[in-house]
């Protein structure tokens, strides 16, 4: 018997390899493709530190709107359209399920805590109302719950153990559609067009520099096709060898935002990569290959799904309890690209303007904020990335910050990214810095990574006086990194005591010790006056 079906889009903003959409269309008289515009995600928040909503900076909102416009355009070629509604998703969904006489609700399974809680409310309502619910796993290659079950109910905590447990992912759906069931009666509802960013209340943004990356399934498949054309590059890709300073032509696929929003199926991407490998013969392997990067994504998704309080230090059983310093002045200088270290500042400016930077650039600034130089809590850095990145992904973002702060997964805290020599290795002329920090564009290359060492005459000729046109260093790297290593060693020595309550008390004691040390030293601004000549 034919019934009305509703496909609820959240992520999974695509037509290809979309099992929820495929199930929704089968045997359905009418199909209602729905996306709910959540004001909490879209409406301007004047109190936020950057233009955007309470939950996202403007680049990711713009990327999402691109995705919705593209999805709507594709649905229209199939005799359908995207039904845009506005409000809190739970009451909106529960209302239309009844009003539109829906017999089948389909949506892609989402592993994030917020999504699980939201979806449970909708699913419970649908079940009580006698509505069939179909929620397949298709945002990831594997079902995290299945991998965890294979591991005795615990998430695997190493990449190698995860890969061994996970096995081979299912193949993507390959069926294409010439048409979809028509939309049913939506009388009485105000259906919205995909808004322009200005229509959301952000005013005139014509002078703002946006991310060069546009959203949508069409763009995702085009970018994937272009990447796959260079079979040698795909076959020889090794993550550690990428160039973080390459920005005009990034040294990676830049497919992460499309995977984040589900414009690109991870299963389809995986299959395409293996098709290339078959034609070239010799190729790199996980963890450094492109397939290896997809498996890293799966690893973090699985650990995040199976670890309570994964996104915080306190209460997180796999996270080292470290007494991070609370210094708002240093944190804001890092966030706004005013540390006085051009490599670090250029990366943070690229993040703010583009909503994206190379993964090794992310490593540099994350290390600098936490265990490398400033010793500030990884959660604060995580929040900045979560807001600004167009590919911000709950599991991956938290997992990477846990890793890079040596709070979990990786514990070699003595290995620190230099804010000077690391960038110089890839870009000795400082072209990346000159682009994102134009105040330094005329600084000679021998001083571009350490402008405080330039004689005053050189600074004047470059029209950049350190301390006036560009900030002095907030810390001296050699001194700060030694202090960080010492603090990490002390925290590690105490962390072995185990339970989080005891660790919290110990961490508080060590934090007081660090604060006492800080109080006995000159302030951040005073250090600059003393140490920077």
Q: Is the pLDDT of residue 338 over 60?
A: yes
297 with 259: CB under 8 angstroms? yes
Q: Is the pLDDT of residue 168 over 80?
A: yes
Average pLDDT over residues 166-193: 95
Q: What is the DSSP string of 391-428?
A: T--HHHHHHHHHHHTTSSS---TT----TTHHHHHH-T
Element (H, E) at 479: helix 477-495
Return the number of other C-beta atoms located less than 10 Å from residue 361's C-beta.
Answer: 28
Q: What is the DSSP string of 79-125?
A: T---EEEES-HHHHHHHHHHHTTEEEEE-----SHHHHHHHHHHHHH
R_g over Cα of the chain: 25
Q: Which structural domains are found in the chain, ordered by start?
A: 1-138 (3.40.50.620), 218-306 (1.25.40.80), 328-520 (1.10.579.10)
Q: Is the pLDDT of residue 293 over 50?
A: yes
Average pLDDT over residues 90-95: 98
Average pLDDT over residues 195-209: 82
362 three-class SS: helix
Q: Is the pLDDT of residue 28 over 60?
A: yes
Q: Is the pLDDT of residue 503 over 90?
A: no
- Two tokens at 432? 């990346």
Digit-coded pLDDT (tens) for 451-490: 999 999 999 999 999 999 999 999 999 999 999 999 999 9
pLDDT for 241: 84
pLDDT for 222: 98
- Two tokens at 146? 């299945």
Q: Is the pLDDT of residue 252 over 70?
A: yes
Q: pLDDT category, 281, cuts 50, 70, 90?
A: confident
Return the number of other C-beta atoms located less than 10 Å from residue 282's C-beta.
Answer: 7
Share of the chain above pLDDT 70, in %: 92
Give the CA distances from residue 503 to residues 358, 390, 492, 500, in Å, rounded to whole numbers and listed in that order: 35, 35, 10, 5
pLDDT for 531: 31
Q: Is the pLDDT of residue 522 over 50?
A: no
70 with 217: CB under 8 angstroms? yes
Higher pLDDT, 131 or 507: 131
481 with 422: CB under 8 angstroms? no
Taking the C-alpha atoms of residue 430 and residue 294, their distance in angstroms, rounded to an integer, is 31
- Two tokens at 416? 């620190």
Q: Is the pLDDT of residue 231 over 60?
A: yes
**How many residues are given for the chain?**
533
Taking the C-alpha atoms of residue 300 and residue 291, their distance in angstroms, rounded to an integer, is 15
Digit-coded pLDDT (tens) for 31-63: 999 999 999 999 999 999 999 999 999 999 999
Q: Is the pLDDT of residue 532 over 90?
A: no
Digit-coded pLDDT (tens) for 431-449: 999 999 999 999 999 999 9
Taking the C-alpha atoms of residue 349 and residue 340, their distance in angstroms, rounded to an integer, is 13
Determine which of 27-36, 178-187, 506-515 has the lowest per-residue pLDDT on average.
Answer: 506-515
310 with 325: CB under 8 angstroms? no
Determine which of 75-89, 202-216, 276-290 has the lowest per-residue pLDDT on average.
Answer: 202-216
202 with 43: CB under 8 angstroms? no
Taking the C-alpha atoms of residue 491 and residue 3, their distance in angstroms, rounded to an integer, is 60
Return the number of other C-beta atoms located less than 10 Å from residue 336's C-beta.
Answer: 16
């Amino acid at each position: 018997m034919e019934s009305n079906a509703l496909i609820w889009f959240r992520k999974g903003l695509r037509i290809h390899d979309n099992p929820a959409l495929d199930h929704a269309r089968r045997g359905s008289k009418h199909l209602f493709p729905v996306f709910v515009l959540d004001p909490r995600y879209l409406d301007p928040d004047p109190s936020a530190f950057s233009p955007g909503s309470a939950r996202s900076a403007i680049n990711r909102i713009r990327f999402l709107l691109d995705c919705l416009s593209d999805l709507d355009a594709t649905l229209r070629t199939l005799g359908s359209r995207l039904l845009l509604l506005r409000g809190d998703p739970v009451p909106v969904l529960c209302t239309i399920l009844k009003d539109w006489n829906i017999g089948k609700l389909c949506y892609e399974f989402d592993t994030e805590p917020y999504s699980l809680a939201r979806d449970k409310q909708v699913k419970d309502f649908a079940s009580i109302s006698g509505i069939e619910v179909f929620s397949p796993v298709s945002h990831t290659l594997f079902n995290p719950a299945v991998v965890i079950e294979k591991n005795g109910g615990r998430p695997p905590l190493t990449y190698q153990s995860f890969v061994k447990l996970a096995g081979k992912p299912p193949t993507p759906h390959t069926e294409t559609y010439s048409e979809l069931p028509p939309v049913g009666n939506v009388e009485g509802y105000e259906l919205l067009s995909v808004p322009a960013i200005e229509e959301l209340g952000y005013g005139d943004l014509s002078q703002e520099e946006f991310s060069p990356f546009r959203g949508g399934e069409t763009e995702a498949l085009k970018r994937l096709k272009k990447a796959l054309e260079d079979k040698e590059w795909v076959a020889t890709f090794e993550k550690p060898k990428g160039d973080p300073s390459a920005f005009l032509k990034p040294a990676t696929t830049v497919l992460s935002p499309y995977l984040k929003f589900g414009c690109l199926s991870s299963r389809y991407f995986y299959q395409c990569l293996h098709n290339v490998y078959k034609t070239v013969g010799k190729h790199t392997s996980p963890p450094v290959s492109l397939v290896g990067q997809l498996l890293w994504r799966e690893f973090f998704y699985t650990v995040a799904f199976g670890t309570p309080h994964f996104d915080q230090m306190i209460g997180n059983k796999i996270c080292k309890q470290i007494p991070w310093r609370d210094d708002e002045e240093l944190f804001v200088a890092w966030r706004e690209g005013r540390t006085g270290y051009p490599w670090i500042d250029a990366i943070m400016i690229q993040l703010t303007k583009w909503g994206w930077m190379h993964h090794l650039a992310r490593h540099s600034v994350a290390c600098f904020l936490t265990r490398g130089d400033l010793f500030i809590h990884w959660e604060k850095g995580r929040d900045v990335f979560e807001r600004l990145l167009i590919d911000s992904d709950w599991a991956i973002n938290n997992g990477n910050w846990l890793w890079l702060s040596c709070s979990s997964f990786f514990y070699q805290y003595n290995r620190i990214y230099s804010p000077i020599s690391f960038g110089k290795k890839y870009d000795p002329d400082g072209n990346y810095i000159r682009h994102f920090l134009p105040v330094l564009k005329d600084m000679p290359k021998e001083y571009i990574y350490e402008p405080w060492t330039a004689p005053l005459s050189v600074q004047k000729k470059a029209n950049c006086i350190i301390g006036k046109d560009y900030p002095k260093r907030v810390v001296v790297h050699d001194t700060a990194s030694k202090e960080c290593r010492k603090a990490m060693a002390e925290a590690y020595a105490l962390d072995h005591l185990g339970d989080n309550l005891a660790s919290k008390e110990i961490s508080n004691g060590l934090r007081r010790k660090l604060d006492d040390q800080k109080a006995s030293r000159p302030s951040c601004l005073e250090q600059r006056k003393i140490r920077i000549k």
